[in-house]
Structure 1
Amino acid sequence: MLNMNLLLIMMFLVGNMIFVSKHKHLLIVLMSLEFIVLSMFFMLLMYLMMIDYNMYMLMVFLVFTVCEGALGLSILVSMIRTHGNDYFQSFNLI
């Protein structure tokens, strides 16, 4: 059980390190966000199993995760349509 918790914490930290480091592509950032959410899902699953609680909260978490993924993909598609690529350097935030 302790090894599983350490693995989940390591997954979360690696996902955060990829997210924080400077990458050129939006797709890599979105994939790191999904990796972070996946590790949080497994952490929540392990916690809810440990306290013997209902798993309904996991369904709510998955619904919000799917909405976040769909929003990220729609931003990616609109960015590619307007700018031609998904480089962060190719568009101005102002």
Structure 2
Amino acid sequence: MMIYSFSIFIFMYLVGLLIFCIKCNHLLLMLLSLEFIVLSLFFGLLVVIIILMYESYFLMVFLSFSVCEGSLGLSILVSMVRSYGNDYFNMLNILW
């Protein structure tokens, strides 16, 4: 059961990285793929903590930091859409 759970974690992580590398034009799709990567890391940490029988308080800290990361990314997305009109990276004048 442990190898099956770990292989699911590796598959989720690699799919998230693949989507992050392919969809690099839209900020929203990049944020969604980053959240998917964070969820896969949470699943991997959960599996390791359950197997090793450690305390699960670190998972609460990890989830609180991931929520802060998600809200910061969404606030940047909203401010960028308000100032530029879209979330394409190619349309930004800052990057050129």
TM-score (norm 1): 0.94
Q: Structure 2 unaligned runs (5+)?
A: none
Q: Which residue is 2:19 aligned to?
A: 18
In the alignment, the residues of structure 1 paired with residue 61 and residue 23 of structure 2 have an alpha-carbon distance, to the nearest angstrom, of 31
Unaligned runs of 5+ in 1: none
Q: Over residues 35-75 of structure 1, what are the superposed CA-to-partner deviations in whole Å (9 max), with x where a residue is unaligned? A: 00000000000000111011000000001000000000001
1:52 is aligned to 53
- Count residues in correspondence: 94
Letter matched to residue 75 of structure 1: I
- Taking the TM superposition and a 5 Å limit, the aligned residue runs for 1:23-38 are 23-38=24-39
Match of 2:43 in 1: 42
Query: RMSD of the TM alignment (CA)?
Result: 1.1
Tell me the CA shift for residue 7 of structure 1: 1.0
TM-score under structure 2 length normalisation:
0.93
Q: Which residue of 2 aligns with 1:8?
A: 9
Q: % of aligned pairs identical?
A: 57
Q: Which runs of 4+ in 1 moved over 3 A?
A: none
